[in-house]
Structure 1
Amino acid sequence: MARPRATRANAFAALLAIALGFAIATQVQQTDQSGLEQLREDELVRILDDVSQEQGRLASDTRELESSRDTLLSGVDSSAEALKSAQERLDTLGILSGTAPATGPGVVITINDPDRKVSAARLLDALQELRDAGAEAVQIGDVRVVANTWFADANGGVEISGRRVDPPYSIKAIGDPATMASAMDIPGGVSESVRGDGATSTVRQADSIEITALHSLQDPRYARPVPAPSK
């Protein structure tokens, strides 16, 4: 085959590719470096505090699980300990699945939307921020939020899993109050986005709130438990 010739067009294309690659690399490097550099000192301190609190919570959970494991393996009063562990697990699953009421520290978020401009996507963003901040149970209006909860716009309101919710929107979340409140107020976050919609939001931290809305479980249409293997 003939050897390719170094024409002016080929040289120009090569220079263009090099310049484009350099520009992309420079942009990626600047993006990586500016992720935290653009934040104020108080914002950096708040992020560090949130990370420290989350680390402490995970360490505490790890110690509790290891203690339960050691007690079960020791065989000392194993029946009572196993029953207690099963009941605690059942209570936890009830809260996570939304079939049991929950109480604990958390936040109450109120979104006043007189012009009805806040969309379902905005409420979903708020839910995601709360979950990322460690929310363990959430209620919006009279609807308990669970893993398969869905949101849709509905003529000046929002439909949540088939139930209409009108403003002002009330969101209750159980978890670390300071962490969740900080998550709502991060630059470009939910509070700022809500203001951009022409609405207002308030976040109230509380030592104890109650989430009483319950989720009704439905039998799965397709999924079935895996049969236990025969011995």
Structure 2
Amino acid sequence: MQESAAGAPTAGAAAESAGTEEPPAEPATGYPATGRPAPAERATEEPGAGVLPPGPGRRRQRRVASALIAVLTVLLGFAIAVQVRSTGTGQTLEGAREEELVAILDGLDAQEARLRQQIADQRAALRELSDTDSRSAAALENAAERAEALAILNGTVAAEGPGLVMTIRDPEGQVRVADLLDAIQELRGAGAETLQIDGVRVGVSTAVTGVPGELRIDGRPVTDPYEVVVIGSPPDLQTAMGIPGGVVDRVGRQGGTVDIEQRDRVVVDALRPLDEPQYAQPQSDD
């Protein structure tokens, strides 16, 4: 059949064209035409396509999440166990008889009484320890006071307090050993707690020796005028020195004089070595 004037192809021309038609071009991506979609097409069709695999940070987050889930699971199980036990105990008490409930209450009361007794015992022990400490402190304080008093009486420590200063003048050199010994004894009898004569501390074992004008106290020489410093009640000490026939009278009859001055504070600072007993010792309890 011939093509019409309008240019329509004839049957032979159409067949020739069909026989010489070029095959379709392959995709530009370089992949062969296998009938499968190209990678670009699969990326739009397959789920998750184009997503990178999880890195170290993502794996660490997953491990932490798993650990938290495990801990929460354990805690939940523990809470459930406690709730079940509590529920079981309540159900047991609800189902118990009156005698059993009374026995339980008695046991609780007994336990409370034991605990209260233990608390009372502990408090009593604490009070006893406190009392013991107080008694020990009081005993130590008392011992310290006694030691201090003995040290003052023995003349091993300095002392101060009210008293008097007595000055014995002997221009004729007639004051005897007996006169100084009488003065010491009369002052002690009037309440003198400690004294010194010309810088020599008078103690329990003090000895006065020598002859008039050359007197010695514990081996140390003393000279006119003799200064006596005494701690005690000033009025009582002065009264003892002024009694008829006392020290003031005797010294006056020998040509000497005695001046007495009461003071609110005098210092006895002469010290003597501690006398250690050679034969005496504390009595044992045996």
TM-score (norm 2): 0.52
1:210 match: secondary structure: strand
Identity of aligned residues (%): 45
Query: Residue 94 of structure 1 corresponds to which residue in structure 2?
Result: 151
| Worse-matched range after superposition: 173-182 or 217-226 | 217-226
> CA separation of 1:130/1:155 partners in 2, compared to 1, >3 Å: closer, same or farther?
closer
* Partners of 1:125 and 1:222 in 2: CA distance: 29
Task: Map residues 42-61 of structure 1 onto 2, 5 A cutoff.
Answer: none
Pick from 101, 125, 129 the counterpart of residue 182 of structure 2.
Answer: 125
Structure 1 segments (4+ residues) deviating >6 Å? none
Q: Is 1:211–2:264 an aligned residue pair?
A: no
**Which amino acid is the alignment partner of residue 181 of structure 1?**
Q
Q: In the alignment, residue 108 of structure 1 is paired with which amino acid?
A: V
- Give 1:144's aligned residue: 201
**Aligned letter for 2:226?**
Y
- The 3-state SS of whatever aligns with 2:183 is helix
Give the 5 Å matches for 1:3-82.
77-82=134-139
Aligned partner of residue 159 in structure 1, secondary structure: strand
CA–CA distance in 1 between the matches of 2:134 and 2:211? 56
- CA offset at residue 126 of structure 1? 0.7
Letter in 2 for 1:94: A
Distance in 1 between residues matched to 2:212 and 2:183, nearest whole Å: 20
Q: Tell me how far 1:156 sits from its aligned partner.
A: 1.5
Asked whether the 8 Å contact 1:154–1:164 carries over to 2, the reply is: no
Give the SS at the match of 1:114. coil
Quote the RMSD (CA, aligned, Å). Answer: 1.6
Would you say the 8 A contact 1:152–1:160 is kept in 2?
yes
- Is residue 168 of structure 1 aligned with residue 216 of structure 2? no
- Within 1, Cα distance between the matches of 2:270 and 2:211? 21
2: CA distance, partners of 1:139 / 1:155: 19
CA distance in structure 1 between the aligned counterparts of 2:165 and 2:138, rounded to whole angstroms = 36
Aligned equivalents of 2:247 and 2:173: distance in 1?
16
1:139–1:171 contact (8 Å) kept in structure 2: yes
TM-superposed CA distance for 1:219, in Å, is 3.1
Question: What is the CA distance between 1:76 and its match in structure 2?
Answer: 7.7
2:240 aligns with: 183
**1:225–1:76 Cα change, 3 Å:** closer
Instruction: Point out which structure has higher relative CO (alpha carbons under 8 A, 6+ apart).
Output: 1
Report how many residues are paired.
156
Unaligned residue ranges in structure 2 (runs of 5+): 1-130
Following TM superposition, by how much is the alpha carbon of 1:75 offset from its aligned partner in structure 2, in angstroms?
5.8
| Counterparts of 1:105 and 1:181, CA distance in 2 | 12
Query: Which of 156, 170, 186 is the equivalent residue of 2:213?
Result: 156
Kept after mapping to 2: 8 A contact 1:157/1:167: no
Distance 1:90 1:206, change over 3 A: same
Letter in 1 for 2:176: S
Shift, 1:228, TM fit: 4.5
Of structures 1 and 2, the larger Rg is shown by 2
Q: Mind listing any 5+ residue stretches in structure 1 that lack a counterpart?
A: 1-73
CA distance in 2, matches of 1:102, 1:228: 35
Q: Secondary structure at the match of 2:137?
A: helix
Secondary structure at 2:173's aligned position in 1?
coil
* Separation in structure 2 between the aligned mates of residue 179 and residue 107 of structure 1, nearest angstrom: 10
